[in-house]
Amino acid sequence: MSSDPYSIMHTLFDNPDLENYGQILINFSNAVYEKKNRTTIVNNFYEQLLNWSINKMYFFDLKDGKKINYLICDGIRASMFYLYLFIPKKTSTVKTLNEINIYGKSLLEKFKKPIGKRISEDTIKNILQFLDEKYSFSSKVFSKSEAIFLLLHNTHKTFNSECLSINDNEHNRNLFFLYHMKKKNGISPEAVFFHELGHAIHAQYSGDVKKVPENIIDILEKLCFPKIKQCDNEEQSELFADVLSVGLMFQTPFEKYDSYKTIHKDDKKAFKTILESIIESI
């Protein structure tokens, strides 16, 4: 293994594997720590990371005269942007190297090689195109917070997907981290994607994805969730995202991805009514 920090650093830029990133960052921080010019190397590292993530990554331009409300990123571009988002910010050189080392270990703890399937870019485009034609979905749901879908190479040991809202003083953006499934058989990555769209609808509708509006809770309690008021806010939010995702899929070509086979179709029809009422109000 090379002890040259620049050689180690550049292995990041040809690699979409977040688990590998963990070991690379540990090796890099250890190698830099032994160098006299470590401040120069650390500064160069953060410059290169910025270049490979933000500068090569995204900006929401017009397409055919229309505003683009979402972006899909795959491969190294997605992984590097993930790294840029969560790596510790640069402070003093020694402290930064220590924190890079700790962050590398955290990546090893969080990620492993792909196990199950991951949704494809083409499938996301097909889903959003269908929803745009039916509901003007992206222009409504992503009007206040543009969406970035990051298709990541690894399986996360805890989650099949995650969502993060960020504000860079110019734009609000919702970032969706879409991983390979934790199991080879089980819930489909498409169902997970619809669940995340449910969270996006919730956020746009109420402005607070952590709390479901009381009027919706009352409706769901009467419909088919008599114990929903006994759940905490997080459980209610997850349930609401499921309700909206089922409503999105019901009586569409994507109904095959619905994993809630035991819910009666009359209830799913009611979910669709709730969904369409919310989208209409946005």
Task: List pLDDT tens digits, range 121-171.
Answer: 999 999 999 999 999 999 999 988 889 999 999 999 999 999 988 876 666
- pLDDT greater than 90 at residue 54: no
pLDDT for the residue numbered 61: 53
Kindly compute the dihedral angle of the four CA atoms of residues 138, 140, 145, 151, in this order, to the nearest 10 degrees.
-20
CA gap 74, 121 in Å, rounded? 8
Task: Measure the CA–CA gap between 179 and 175, rounded to whole angstroms.
Answer: 13
Q: How far apart are CA 197 and CA 183, in angstroms?
A: 22
- Phi and psi (nearest 5°) for 228? -65, -30
**pLDDT over 60 at 113, yes or no:** yes
Alpha-helical segments (H) within the chain: 5-11, 18-33, 38-50, 75-86, 93-110, 121-135, 137-141, 189-206, 214-223, 233-249, 265-281
pTM of the model: 0.92
| CA–CA distance, 178 with 201 (Å, rounded to integer) | 17
| Cβ(179)–Cβ(118) below 8 Å | yes
Q: How confident is the model at residue 64 (pLDDT cuts 50, 70, 90)?
A: low
| The token pair that represents 37 in the structure block | 């010019």
Average pLDDT, the chain: 92
Question: Does 56 have pLDDT greater than 80?
Answer: no
Predicted local confidence at residue 208, as pLDDT: 86
User: pLDDT tens digits, residue range 180-215?
Assistant: 999 998 899 999 999 999 999 999 999 888 899 999
Give residue 215's pLDDT.
95
